[in-house]
C-alpha cells in the first residue's frame, strides 16, 4: 500500500466529544484508528473551543465585572483569559490521541462506502478506508437570508466572542437559549442590549411563570426584549449599524445573529457513501445511531438530536456498544435529560411542563415559588442573587416527578439531582423530606415541594 493510502479499523470524521472518545477507546483496545479534522482550532470539538466552555468562561467574567470597570478594557482582558483556557484545552485534547491514533489535518470527502479522500493541510491527497466510520462533523451557526448580514459588525455566536471593538449597543436577532445567554453576558460586560424575536414570547416551551420571571430579571438588568418583531435587513448607519424592522428600526454598534445552527454535511459527499440526510441536511440515524449505509454511524449535533455535549458523550456509548459490545444500548434509553441556559442566574429544565404532562394524560400536581420567597433556601441571598423561580410538575397518583424548571443560583447542579431522581423513580415526598446540606440551593426541594397543589392551567 502506498503512503497515500491508509486502511484502519475505525475512521472518525470530526473531532467532537463522541468521535474523540470513541477514537481513544478503540485505539486503547488495540484497534487501528484514524481521525480527520479540517481545522486545528477545533481539536477537541465545538464545546471546548467555541461553545460551552469558552462562553461560560465569558459569562463568569461578565458576572464579576464591577460598574466602574471600563467595558472595552475589561472585555479585552476577559477574551484573553478565554483564549488562554481554550488553547490549553485544545492542546490537551490533541495530546490525548497523539500516538494512539493516526491524526490527519485535512478535509474529508466520501468517495464510496466507508472510504474517504482527504485533502490534507499540506496539500497532499490521502485515501482512507475503514471497517467502520463515525461522522461527527457537528454544526455551525445558521444565517437567515436577510440583506446586510455580511456587513462588518454582524457576528454569530462564534465570532462575537472576539468582537472588536466592544459594542456599546448590541442587537441580538433571536430570543432563544443562545441569544438570551449572550444578551445577558454582554449586558453585564457593559453593552446596551436589545433582543429581537418574531415569536409572541421568548422560551415558548416553558411555563408562563418562568417566562415572566426570565423577562423580569433580564429587564431589571437592562436587557430590552422585543417580541413579535421581525427583522427585514441590516444596513450601515452614520454611527454603526441600523437593524430594519417591520415596525421601525434599531441603531446599534453590532448585531449578533442567533437563529439556530445548521449541520456540516454539504461538502462531505455523503451521497457517494449512501448516507441519507433530511431536508435540513442532518444525517438520518436510527436509535442505534446507524445511518443508511452499513458500518457508518453519525454522532453529536450532525445527527439532528439534542445539541448538547453530554448527548454526544452518550452517543459514544451507543456506538461503542454496537462496535464492541452487545449492541443493546439505544438512544431510547435516555430518560430525564436535563439542560441549562447560562443566563444569570442559570435556567435549568428537565422533563415535562405541567401543560405537557396534562396533555399526556397525567393528573398533575404543580408548585411554583419565587426564589426570593423561599425561606429554606438562603444560599442565593448569601450570594446576593435571589432572582428566579422554581417549579415542579408531579404525577398526582404516583407522586413521581414529571418535570422541573429551576431558574436560580446553582440550578445547573441541582437539576442533575432532580433528573437522577426522575430516572430512579424517587417520589416528590422523598425529595421534600430529604436531608440536604445547609446553606445550599438543594434545600429548595424541602419548601417548594411542600406546596404542591392540583394544577390550574388558568
Task: Give the CATH number of the domain where residue 326 resides.
Answer: 3.50.50.60
The residues annotated with a catalytic role in the active site are 438
Same domain, 129 and 211: no
Same domain, 125 and 173: no
267: helix, coil or strand?
A: coil
State the cell numbers at 299: 454522532
Is residue 214's pLDDT more than 80? yes
Same domain, 355 and 448: yes
Same domain, 201 and 247: yes
Same domain, 51 and 119: yes
Place of cell 454544526: 139
State the cell numbers at 56: 461560560
Contact 113, 129 (CB under 8 A): no
The reported pTM is: 0.95
Q: Judge whether 425 lies within some domain.
A: yes
Q: In what order do the strands lie in the sheet with 389-395?
A: 339-341, 347-351, 401-407, 389-395, 364-370, 453-454
Same domain, 281 and 254: no
Average pLDDT for 134-139: 98
Q: Judge whether 421 lies within some domain.
A: yes
Q: Judge whether 176 lies within some domain.
A: yes
d(CA 10, CA 32): 6
Same domain, 251 and 269: no
Q: What is the percent of the chain where pLDDT is above 70?
A: 99
Model confidence at 458, pLDDT cuts 50, 70, 90, reads: low
The whole-number pLDDT of residue 73 equals 98
Q: Judge whether 147 lies within some domain.
A: no
Is residue 2's pLDDT more than 60? no
Q: What is the CATH number of the domain that holds 446?
A: 3.30.390.30
What lies within 8 Å, CB to CB, of 18 at 6+ separation is: 134, 136, 299, 300, 312, 313, 315, 316, 319
Which is nearest to 138 in space by CA: 334, 330, 341, 311? 311
Helix (H) or strand (E) holding 178: helix 177-189
Compute φ and ψ for 13, nearest 5 degrees. -105, 105
Same domain, 12 and 111: yes
Angle, CA 403 vertex, CA 400 and CA 406 arms, to 5°: 125
Among 259, 289, 308, residue at a domain's last position: 259
Using a CB cutoff of 8 Å and minimum separation of 24, what contacts does 66-71 make?
69/190, 71/166, 71/168, 71/189, 71/190, 71/191
Among 240, 259, 278, residue at a domain's last position: 259
Using a CB cutoff of 8 Å and minimum separation of 24, what contacts does 78-81 make?
78/189, 79/161, 79/162, 81/57
Q: What is the percent of the chain where pLDDT is above 90?
A: 97
The whole-number pLDDT of residue 231 equals 98
67: helix, coil or strand?
A: coil
d(CA 374, CA 147): 48
The DSSP symbol for 160 reads: G
d(CA 353, CA 404): 7
Total of domains in the chain: 3
Is residue 445's pLDDT more than 80? yes
pLDDT in tens, 274-285: 999 999 999 999
Q: Are strands 364-370 and 139-141 parallel, antiparallel or unpaired?
A: unpaired
Model confidence at 457, pLDDT cuts 50, 70, 90, reads: confident
Same domain, 179 and 242: yes
Average pLDDT for 241-250: 96
Contact 412, 181 (CB under 8 A): no
State the cell numbers at 385: 442573587
Among 290, 315, 333, residue at a domain's last position: 333
Average pLDDT for 46-56: 97
Contact 322, 314 (CB under 8 A): no
Helix (H) or strand (E) holding 73: helix 71-97
Same domain, 158 and 35: no
Same domain, 251 and 277: no
Q: Judge whether 389 lies within some domain.
A: yes
pLDDT in tens, 69-102: 999 999 999 999 999 999 999 999 999 999 999 9
What lies within 8 Å, CB to CB, of 412 at 6+ separation is: 340, 342, 346, 348
d(CA 441, CA 407): 11
The whole-number pLDDT of residue 4 equals 85
What lies within 8 Å, CB to CB, of 16 at 6+ separation is: 45, 46, 47, 136, 137, 138, 299, 300, 301, 312
Is residue 1's pLDDT more than 80? no
Q: Judge whether 198 lies within some domain.
A: yes
Same domain, 188 and 112: no
Q: Judge whether 146 lies within some domain.
A: no
pLDDT in tens, 386-420: 999 999 999 999 999 999 999 999 999 999 999 99
Provide the residue range defining the domain that includes 376. 339-454
The whole-number pLDDT of residue 456 equals 87
Mean per-residue pLDDT of the chain:
97
Phi-psi region of 175 (alpha: psi -120 to 50; beta: other; left: phi over 0): alpha
Is residue 3's pLDDT more than 80? no
d(CA 182, CA 158): 11
Amino acid at each position: 500500500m502506498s503512503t497515500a493510502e491508509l486502511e484502519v479499523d475505525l475512521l472518525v470524521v470530526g473531532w467532537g466529544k463522541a468521535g474523540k472518545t470513541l477514537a481513544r477507546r478503540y485505539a486503547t483496545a488495540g484497534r487501528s484508528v484514524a481521525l480527520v479534522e479540517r481545522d486545528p482550532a477545533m481539536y477537541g470539538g465545538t464545546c471546548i473551543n467555541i461553545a460551552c466552555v469558552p462562553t461560560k468562561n465569558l459569562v463568569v467574567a461578565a458576572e464579576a465585572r464591577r460598574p466602574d470597570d471600563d467595558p472595552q478594557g475589561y472585555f479585552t482582558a476577559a477574551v484573553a483569559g478565554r483564549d488562554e483556557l481554550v488553547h490549553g484545552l485544545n492542546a490537551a485534547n490533541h495530546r490525548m490521541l497523539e500516538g494512539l491514533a493516526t491524526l490527519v489535518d485535512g478535509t474529508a470527502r466520501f468517495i464510496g462506502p466507508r472510504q474517504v479522500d482527504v485533502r490534507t493541510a499540506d496539500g497532499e491527497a490521502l485515501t482512507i478506508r475503514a471497517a467502520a466510520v463515525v461522522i461527527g462533523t457537528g454544526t455551525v451557526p445558521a444565517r437567515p437570508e436577510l440583506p446586510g448580514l455580511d456587513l462588518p459588525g454582524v457576528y454569530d455566536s462564534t465570532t462575537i466572542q472576539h468582537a472588536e471593538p466592544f459594542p456599546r449597543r448590541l442587537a441580538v436577532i433571536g430570543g432563544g437559549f443562545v441569544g438570551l445567554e449572550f444578551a445577558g453576558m454582554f449586558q453585564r460586560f457593559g453593552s446596551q442590549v436589545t433582543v429581537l424575536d418574531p415569536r409572541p414570547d421568548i422560551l415558548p416551551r416553558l411555563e408562563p411563570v418562568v417566562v415572566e420571571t426570565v423577562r423580569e430579571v433580564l429587564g431589571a438588568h437592562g436587557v430590552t426584549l422585543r417580541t413579535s418583531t421581525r427583522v427585514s435587513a441590516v444596513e450601515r448607519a452614520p454611527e454603526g449599524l441600523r437593524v430594519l424592522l417591520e415596525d421601525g428600526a434599531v441603531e446599534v454598534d453590532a448585531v449578533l445573529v442567533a437563529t439556530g445552527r445548521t449541520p456540516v454535511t454539504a461538502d462531505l459527499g455523503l451521497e457517494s457513501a449512501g448516507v441519507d440526510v433530511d431536508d435540513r441536511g442532518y444525517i438520518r440515524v436510527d436509535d442505534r445511531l446507524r445511518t443508511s449505509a452499513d458500518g457508518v454511524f453519525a454522532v453529536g449535533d450532525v445527527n439532528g438530536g439534542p445539541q448538547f455535549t453530554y448527548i454526544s458523550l452518550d452517543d459514544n456509548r451507543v456506538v461503542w456498544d454496537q462496535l464492541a459490545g452487545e449492541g443493546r444500548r439505544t438512544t431510547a434509553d435516555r430518560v430525564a435529560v436535563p439542560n441549562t441556559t447560562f443566563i444569570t442566574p442559570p435556567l435549568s429544565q428537565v422533563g415535562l411542563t405541567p401543560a405537557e404532562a396534562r396533555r399526556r394524560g397525567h393528573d398533575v400536581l404543580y408548585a411554583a415559588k419565587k426564589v426570593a420567597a423561599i425561606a429554606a433556601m438562603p444560599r442565593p441571598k448569601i450570594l446576593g442573587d435571589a432572582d428566579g423561580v422554581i417549579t415542579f410538575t408531579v404525577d398526582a397518583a404516583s407522586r413521581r416527578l414529571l418535570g422541573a424548571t429551576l431558574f436560580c443560583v446553582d440550578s445547573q447542579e441541582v437539576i442533575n439531582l432532580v433528573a437522577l431522581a426522575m430516572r430512579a423513580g424517587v417520589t416528590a415526598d422523598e425529595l421534600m423530606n430529604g436531608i440536604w446540606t445547609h446553606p445550599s440551593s438543594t434545600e429548595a426541594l424541602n419548601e417548594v415541594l411542600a406546596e404542591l397543589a392540583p394544577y390550574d392551567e388558568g
